[in-house]
Each structure stands twice: as C-alpha cells, then as structure tokens.
Amino acid sequence: MTDDGKDTDSAGKAEVRYRIKLDAQRCEDIRSIYGKKADNALTAVEEGRVYKYLDFFVVKGNTGEYVVVDDFCTCQDFAFRQIECWHILAVRIAKYSGEYTCIDEWYLDRLLKNNSESDTLSESGKQ
C-alpha cells in the first residue's frame, strides 16, 4: 500500500482500496440482498478460502478451486447460468473487507507445476 492509501496492482497501476468491516450488521445486510449465495460467500471469506495471486483471485470452493476475474468465474454454475455465482460474490466481499490471502506467485505457474508433478508421479507408477 502506498502512503496515500492506494494499492498497486501487478501492472503497477494504483487502485483505491476502501475497507469495510465485516461485522454482524454488514453480514446481515449482505445476506438480505444475496440470500443463499451470501451464506456461501461469507463462509468462504471467514474461513480464509479467498486467495489473491499475481494474476487472479482464486476461491477454494466445495469441490475445487475456481478462478475469478472481475465478473467471470470458472465454476460450472457460472458456465451454465452466466450469472454471478457465490465465488464472484466472495471475491467482492474479500476485496472490500481486505479479508483475503495474498500469494506472491502466478496461479498459472502453480497449476503448471502441479500438473508437471502429477505427470511425473503417474509416469513413475507405470511399469
């Protein structure tokens, strides 16, 4: 964060960050607007399952990890319905509350590394 209260993104552009406190009233307000989506999103934020990599936000969901970029998510719910899913809402809440974990690496590099390790393990198991 810079001295004037701005963060810089990976391209070096400054972005203003307004932080909200996730108190009981704020959570109730979010639930009244978003319903069940809010429950899942708030739980993910509270449990620390929102990660900011150098290239994407990632939300660890119930069945996997989902990349969230602006109003796009890689989950099946978003793919089929093309409407905001709870992963997108979780990232929005996390951004405004500052409740996310920063990981100083590229998510795509991590995926490639994990895939490479998986290939090596499967190759070593073949006879």
Which range is least confidently modeled, 13-17, 23-27, 68-72, 76-80?
13-17
What mean pLDDT is predicted for residues 72-79? 94
Q: Which residues contact 34 (CB under 8 A, 6 or more apart)?
A: 41, 89
Closest residue by Cα to residue 71 from 106, 95, 54: 95
Give CA–CA dist 38/60, Å, rounded: 15
Which range is least confidently modeled, 1-5, 24-28, 63-67?
1-5
Which residues face 68 on adjacent strands? Answer: 57, 73
What mean pLDDT is predicted for residues 74-91? 94
Q: What is the pTM of this model?
A: 0.75
Give CA–CA dist 96/17, Å, rounded: 7
Res 26: pLDDT? 92
Q: Domains of the chain: which residue ranges?
A: 6-125
Does position 9 have pLDDT exceeding 60, yes or no? no
* DSSP string across 56-100: -EEEE-SSSEEEEETTEE-SHHHHHH-S--HHHHHHHHHHHHT-S
Does position 125 have pLDDT exceeding 60, yes or no? no
